[in-house]
Amino acid sequence: MFRNREDAAYQLARKLKGRELLDPLVLAIPRGGVVTGGVLASELGAELDVVLSRKLRAPEQPELAVGAVSEDGHVYLSRHAQEVLELTEDYLAEERRHQLAEIARRKKTVPRGPAPGPSCRPLGDCDRRRHRDGRHHDRRVASGEDAKAA
């Protein structure tokens, strides 16, 4: 297994180093995923960027994920949650607003990507993620909802 996050990243990097990667990009979900992603990006000579997403919580059960919202507002809902829980549109809209507010707060505190080059406007205006080989890393994926939204 892995001794820690860095060890996991080094082991993964060893497996990926022989592959031909086109302008590689490592996407990391804070917090622990950034540590892992940083090591992996360094080992692969890849760019590192942070992806913010938030779990959408079940009513009355805040630890249960019913889906997730990405920093651009895209919502992913778990089919299982939709089938089992009675999720109203009003509840989901409010939960989405709440989580997007938290994403906006975190955007101010989380370092984002390298300084833009001459052909790239600041993040948000320039989609540096298109047409690149990418790897996504989170320290853990308890339900997978954050990773799916990211």
Q: Where are the domains of the chain?
A: 5-149
Per-residue pLDDT of 111-120, as tens digits, reads 665 534 333 3
Per-residue pLDDT of 30-78, as tens digits, reads 877 888 999 999 999 998 888 899 999 999 999 999 999 999 999 999 9
| Cα angle, residue 16 at apex, residues 10 and 22 outer, rounded to 5° | 125
Which element (helix H / strand E) includes 81?
A: helix 79-84
pTM of the model: 0.65
Nearest to 52, CA basis, from 30, 35, 74? 30
pLDDT at 49: 87
Which element (helix H / strand E) includes 101?
A: helix 89-107
Assigned CATH class of 5-149: alpha beta
Which residue matches tokens 């779990």? 55
Those residues whose C-beta lies under 8 Å from the C-beta of residue 48, and which sit 6 or more positions away, are 25, 26, 28, 34, 37, 38, 41, 113, 114
DSSP state of 88: -
Residue 139 has pLDDT above 80, yes or no: no
pLDDT at 29: 86
Q: How many residues does the chain have?
A: 150
CA atoms 33, 35, 36, 40: torsion sign: positive
Q: What is the pLDDT of the chain when averaged over all its residues?
A: 79
Nearest to 110, CA basis, from 20, 7, 23, 33? 33
Paired residues of 69 in beta bridges: 54, 75
